[in-house]
Structure 1
Amino acid sequence: MWRDGVLVAEDLPHAELAEQMRAQNTLVWVDLVDPSPADLEVLARDLGLSAGSIEDAMAPHERPKVVRHPGYLFFQTYATAGVDLPVASDPQTGVAVADVVGRDGTLSLSRVSGYVLPQALVTVRLDDRFDMSEVVRRWTEDYDLVELGEGALLHGLLDTIVDGHFDTIQRLDDAIEALEDLLFEDKQTGADFARTIFGLRKDLVQLRRVVLPMREVVNGLLRHRPSGHSELDSAYDDLYDHVLRAAEWTESLRDMVTTLFETNLSLQDAHLNIVMRKLAGWAAIIAVPTAITGWFGQNVPYWGFQDSTGLWASVVLIAVLSVGLFAAFRRNGWV
């Protein structure tokens, strides 16, 4: 609980919650982690929340959204709780290919729902994978912002979630660039490379489902912002710009993964054509001695028959024609 922008309590009794929310110049934050339906029912009764919004907070497979109810706003978002990919320590060197190839889709999401009431913010998390300590740090470092009310708390929460999206997108971008470098090396790609591309595509599809709807969430908050302070206008405009950038970046990465997959197939087809061309060239070279030895092996008298000159003549013909074919194929890049 804050009063006049100053933190005054960190463990507020439930019995005092409703009373403190009505106190002047007071701001309250309630965080519920993996609550039971009974916990939410008690909270709904004390704060006047509708049964529909309580059901939305607990129901599975809900999409990011913001819904306006009489007296409060209900929002639902997803934070990227983790992605098992390395981060490039040096932007110029990038990520080592060995750290990326062979990894399956590893994106983990954590749902964060909440209720924005006058002078209060209630957050509901179904698990503790999303770390709230960064959100609290932002709130406590900017006392002036906290003085602007529940809208400032909501902005700090959403800003942290969107920054997490950017971090995940950056990791995926680094991984894709590492795979691009591997494509044009002499070493041929294999099943691990294809599995990695497929895993990255799964991550991006999952990330896209939570990043793109954030535009609607922030846009809805811009229309029905819970605080009347004009000082928050620029903050929410900047947040909306970040959401747009994250959505555009995610779309571009999906195109890059598709291009990476198609390029890999094209290079494999080109490599197969080279192999078939070389096999055809060697087959033509091998056909020369086969034809000559088959011809001279017939049981009829010929020049050099039963004489060493015939042996040497066949050897010279094999050597000259084979070397000539090899030189011609080599010059044309067929072998």
Structure 2
Amino acid sequence: MCVTAPSCPTATRLYENGKVIATDFGYDEIAGQLDEHPGAVLWLDLFDPDGDDLASVAKQFDLHPLAVEDAMTDHERPKLDRYPHHVFLNVYAVDLATKDSETRFGKTEISVFVTNRALITVRKSPSDTQRLIDRWDSDADLCSAGGVGFLLWGLLDVVVDGQYAVTQRLDAGMDMVEDALLEEGGAPRVVRMKAVKERKLLAALRRAVSPMPELVAQSMRSDLALVDDKLRPYFRDVEDHAQHTVDEIEHLRDRIDSLLEADNSEQSNVLNNTTRKLAAWAAIVAVPTAVTGYFGQNVPYPGYDQWWGFLVSSATIVVVSLLLYLYLKRRGWL
């Protein structure tokens, strides 16, 4: 069969009986390799393919048009769909990077076609596939029994491990935020904004992670025939890790919400104390003001009936008001 090779970057590996028997061969060699090794399974990776690239692959591997459309669409939700000749999955590999003291969340959308003898991955942004290769090569003996299900297990395991690692990093970062938020008098605004940003990161991570336990569970369905008895414990282990990651994220969300609420309460207490002090001083000042106002007392002051007396009193008002403004500004009341 004449095939048109995709123009996008590709990667290939062929596994048979727990060994890598071919790697980095051309797309036009795939059919020959599969015919020559009837017991082998293929990994084909496509980086940022266009419509023509996927159309060529779909024709060769009999991929469903709806699945191809999902693979071409950005920001699809994590899911698993079954089609007549293959299974389609959409997952997200996530990571955290720190630049200029700012934590940035990144995710790579990966669409996956699982056929009887091939695992085809479609990546829409750059990501490290070496971790995936290392996972397969370190446990390649499972391939002899698991076939293409082994490749799917390695992919899901790497994705879930990455999601858990990001969750752990956010948990560690939360410790520093917690110490700052629980300081007496309330946290500075920059700390509160950092906590709000952490909550946004958790929300983005939750959207990528929360469907994973159900997705892994669906991949073990007997009617899909992807997971045999030897692989099933490994898939259950991935499912357990995925559920643990979801639980950690929910715990972190509750934790940061509680911290922000505690900080708001602390700031309210400080504001109440300040208001009470100001009210007390206002009451003290009001007494002599009321008495002197009632009796119309107007006591002569230095410079009374002199032109320079007006300047002294005006300057005193300006200077005292300015000093009071600077004091209140320094205390953060203005």
Aligned equivalent of 2:57, options 39, 43, 59:
43
Any idea what SS the aligned residue of 1:231 has? coil
RMSD: 2.5
1:266-293 deviation line (CA, Å, top 9, x unaligned): 1111110111122223334445665787
Unaligned runs of 5+ in 1: 87-98, 301-335
Of the two structures, which has the highest relative contact order with CA contacts closer than 8 Å and spacing of 6 or more? 1
Q: How does 1:300-311 map to 2 (within 5 A)?
A: none
Q: More displaced, 3-12 or 34-43?
A: 3-12
Q: Work out whether residues 98 and 104 of structure 2, in 8 Å CA contact, stay in contact via their aligned partners in 1.
A: yes
2:235 equivalent to 1:236: yes
TM-score w.r.t. the length of structure 1 is 0.77
Q: Work out whether residues 204 and 254 of structure 1, in 8 Å CA contact, stay in contact via their aligned partners in 2.
A: yes
Aligned equivalent of 2:96, options 82, 106, 130:
82
Q: Work out whether residues 19 and 141 of structure 2, in 8 Å CA contact, stay in contact via their aligned partners in 1.
A: no
**CA distance 1:228–1:284, change in 2 (3 Å):** closer
2:83 equivalent to 1:65: no
Aligned equivalent of 2:134, options 106, 131, 137:
137
- 1:298 CA drift (Å): 3.6
Partner residue in 1 for 2:66: 52
Any idea what SS the aligned residue of 1:140 has? helix
Q: Work out whether residues 79 and 211 of structure 2, in 8 Å CA contact, stay in contact via their aligned partners in 1.
A: yes
Distance 1:234 1:274 in 2: 60
Partner residue in 1 for 2:6: none
Aligned equivalent of 1:30, options 28, 32, 44:
44
Q: More displaced, 9-18 or 148-157?
A: 9-18
Partner residue in 2 for 1:114: 112
- 1:66 CA drift (Å): 0.7
Distance 2:225 2:201 in 1: 33
Distance 2:135 2:245 in 1: 21
Aligned equivalent of 1:184, options 182, 186, 197:
182
Any idea what SS the aligned residue of 2:133 has? helix
Residue type at the aligned position of 2:59:
R
Partner residue in 2 for 1:96: none
Q: Percent identity?
A: 38
Distance 1:156 1:163 in 2: 11
2:6 equivalent to 1:7: no
Any idea what SS the aligned residue of 2:71 has? helix
Q: Work out whether residues 151 and 225 of structure 1, in 8 Å CA contact, stay in contact via their aligned partners in 2.
A: no
Distance 2:261 2:242 in 1: 29
1:18-69 deviation line (CA, Å, top 9, x unaligned): 3433432212110111111111111111111111111111112210011111
TM-score w.r.t. the length of structure 2 is 0.77
1:57-112 deviation line (CA, Å, top 9, x unaligned): 111221001111112111110111334399xxxxxxxxxxxx6xxx5x73211101
Any idea what SS the aligned residue of 1:265 has? helix
Distance 1:49 1:62 in 2: 18
2:34 equivalent to 1:21: yes
- 1:201 CA drift (Å): 1.6
Q: Work out whether residues 215 and 240 of structure 1, in 8 Å CA contact, stay in contact via their aligned partners in 2.
A: yes
Any idea what SS the aligned residue of 1:227 has? coil
Distance 2:200 2:298 in 1: 68
**CA distance 1:194–1:183, change in 2 (3 Å):** closer
Distance 1:83 1:66 in 2: 29
Unaligned runs of 5+ in 2: 1-13, 300-334
- 1:297 CA drift (Å): 8.6
Distance 1:21 1:157 in 2: 21
Partner residue in 2 for 1:215: 213
